[in-house]
């Protein structure tokens, strides 16, 4: 076994253990491998080891790797500029980072042109951190209402949130709880275009707490591939 394969096996076991403790059937957490800065060779090793979904945070990296990576579901998890939607609309399966109506409108327009319905998540900034993208709970209600009214080529699949970085992941438990409560609230609304299935929370350092607090989609890079090295 290579390291990537070993790490994935361990991670899947841990994810299963936490979800078994907190859910009746235990196996309902989707592992999205975060592949930013990783080569297509590394990504293909992860796919060989059973990864079905990968997440990238830059449009350019998706374009560069798209044809070299084996068949997999792509997730756009980073901030997305409106003028770049057109480059990824037919490549990604879900966009996790929708936080303005302007971006939603552009996704809707490009999805219509491409003849598809795009799955999205609304990004919540639960801690109201200035440095992070995403919107408040209150703003999310308005945004979701606007999308339902005006964007027939978008299906809202849930919420995404990035917790503040803390050495002790226990510190961010309240934020995960808060987003889970909001998720449950939206889940009760009956609308064909509002199909709340995914609560995307949890990264390498805090995924166990996130799952315990209701996450069913974790985005994990470092714990699979090791530390990231950004080009200088």
Ligand X SMILES: *Cc1c(COP(=O)(O)O)cnc(C)c1O
* 34 belongs to the binding site for ligand X (CB under 6 A): yes
C-beta closer to ligand X: residue 180 or 219? 219
Judged by CB under 6 A, which of 35, 57, 125, 215 binds ligand X?
57
Q: Does 204 bind ligand X (CB under 6 A)?
A: yes
Length of the chain: 232
Structure tokens at 132: 């992070």
How is residue 117 written in tokens? Answer: 């319905």
- Closer by beta carbon to ligand X, 124 or else 153: 124
Q: Is 162 in the site for ligand X (CB under 6 A)?
A: yes
Instruction: Give backbone dihedrals phi and psi of 78, rounded to 5 degrees, phi first.
Output: -105, 175
Tell me the CA distances in angstroms from 14 to 7, 31, 34, 116, one per residue in order: 11, 11, 17, 36
Rg (CA), the chain: 17
Q: Is 222 in the site for ligand X (CB under 6 A)?
A: yes
Residue 3 token pair:
């390291």
Span from 38-46, 66-74, 127-135, 201-209 in contact with ligand X (CB under 6 A): 201-209
Q: Is 122 in the site for ligand X (CB under 6 A)?
A: no
Distance CA 182, CA 177 (A): 9
Using Cβ positions, the residue closest to ligand X within the complex turns out to be 221
Q: What angle do CA 73, 76, 78 make, to 5 degrees?
A: 150
Please compute, for residue 169, the number of CA atoms within 13 A of its CA located in the half-sphere on the CB side.
Answer: 16
In terms of CB distance, is 37 or 44 closer to ligand X? Answer: 37
Q: How many amino acids of this chain bind ligand X (CB under 6 A)?
A: 14
Nearer to ligand X, 15 or 77 (CB): 77
Listed residue (156, 20, 43) closest to 95, CA to CA: 156
Candidates 12, 23, 36, 91: give the one binding ligand X (CB under 6 A).
36
Of the residues 38, 45, 47, 78, which one makes contact with ligand X according to CB under 6 A:
78
CB atoms within 10 A of CB 83: 9
203 binds ligand X (CB under 6 A): yes
User: Least Å distance between CB 206 and ligand X?
Assistant: 9
Residue numbers of the site for ligand X (CB under 6 A)? 34, 36, 57, 77-78, 162, 203-205, 219-223
């Amino acid at each position: 076994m290579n390291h990537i394969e070993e790490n994935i096996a361990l991670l899947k076991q841990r994810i299963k253990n936490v979800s078994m403790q907190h859910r009746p059937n235990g196996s309902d957490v989707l592992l999205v491998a975060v592949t930013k800065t990783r080569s297509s060779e590394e990504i293909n090793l992860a796919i060989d080891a059973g990864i079905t979904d990968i997440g990238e945070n830059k449009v350019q990296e998706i374009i560069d790797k798209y044809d070299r990576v084996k068949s997999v579901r792509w997730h756009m998890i980073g901030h997305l500029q409106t003028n770049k939607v057109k480059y990824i609309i037919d490549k990604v399966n879900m966009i996790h980072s929708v936080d303005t109506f302007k971006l939603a409108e552009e996704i809707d327009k490009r999805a219509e042109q491409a003849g598809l319905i795009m799955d999205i998540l609304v990004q919540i900034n639960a801690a109201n951190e200035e440095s992070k993208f995403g919107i408040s709970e209150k703003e999310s209600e308005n945004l979701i209402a606007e999308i339902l009214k005006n964007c027939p080529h978008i299906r809202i699949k849930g919420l995404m949130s990035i917790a503040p970085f803390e050495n002790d992941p226990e510190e961010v438990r309240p934020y995960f709880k808060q987003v889970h409560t909001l998720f449950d609230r939206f889940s009760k609304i009956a609308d064909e275009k509002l199909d709340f299935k995914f609560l995307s929370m949890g990264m390498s350092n805090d995924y166990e707490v996130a799952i315990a607090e209701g996450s069913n989609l974790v985005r994990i890079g470092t714990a699979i591939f090791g530390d990231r090295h950004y080009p200088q």
